[in-house]
A = this chain, B = another copy of it.
Amino acid sequence: MNQIGDHFELEITFTQAEVNAFAKVSGDLNPIHWDEAFAANTPFKKPIIHGAFITSIFSRVMGMEFPGKGSIYLSQQTQFKRPMYVGQAYRFYFELLSIDVAKHSATYATQVFELERNKITVDGQASLMNTALF
């Protein structure tokens, strides 16, 4: 039974190889994501992870783990608040915020925190439909 306040979290540390694979599959070859020399001359100093890769993790978790199978994305709002780097540990946090029984849908907080300093890097909210769960 899904209850308001249910939550789920996982820790992820991304590798440059994973970011490069995402760049290739998405076609997003912006050098800010993989070129150390290019990134060194930006305010970020180092390559930053694609924001779209982070939202892909949201999709993966909600489709497969929490709430899981049968979930269909209705919407996602995401604010990219701080850059995210490879080799840095992050905590992904999901919380069930509301349920709409008539629409078989629910809204979730979708957030990422830099693990060590507990600083939020990505904030957001998703809504999804799951006829078996809601």
List chain A positions with a Cβ less than 8 A from chain B: 18, 21-22, 24-30, 32, 50-53, 55-60, 63-64, 69-80
| B residues less than 8 Å from A51 (CB atoms) | 59, 73, 76
Copies in the complex: 2
A77 to B103, CA, bound (A): 21
| B residues less than 8 Å from A76 (CB atoms) | 51-52, 55, 76-78
Instruction: Determine if A30 and B75 form an interchain contact, defined as CB atoms under 8 angstroms apart.
Output: no
A22-B25, A56-B52 known; A30-B64 Cβ under 8 A? yes
| B residues less than 8 Å from A53 (CB atoms) | 26, 56
A69 to B133, CA, bound (A): 43
A51-B73, A76-B51 known; A57-B27 Cβ under 8 A? yes
Q: Known pairs A25-B25, A30-B60, A74-B80. 6 more at Cβ < 8 A?
A: A22-B56, A50-B59, A51-B76, A52-B60, A75-B77, A77-B78
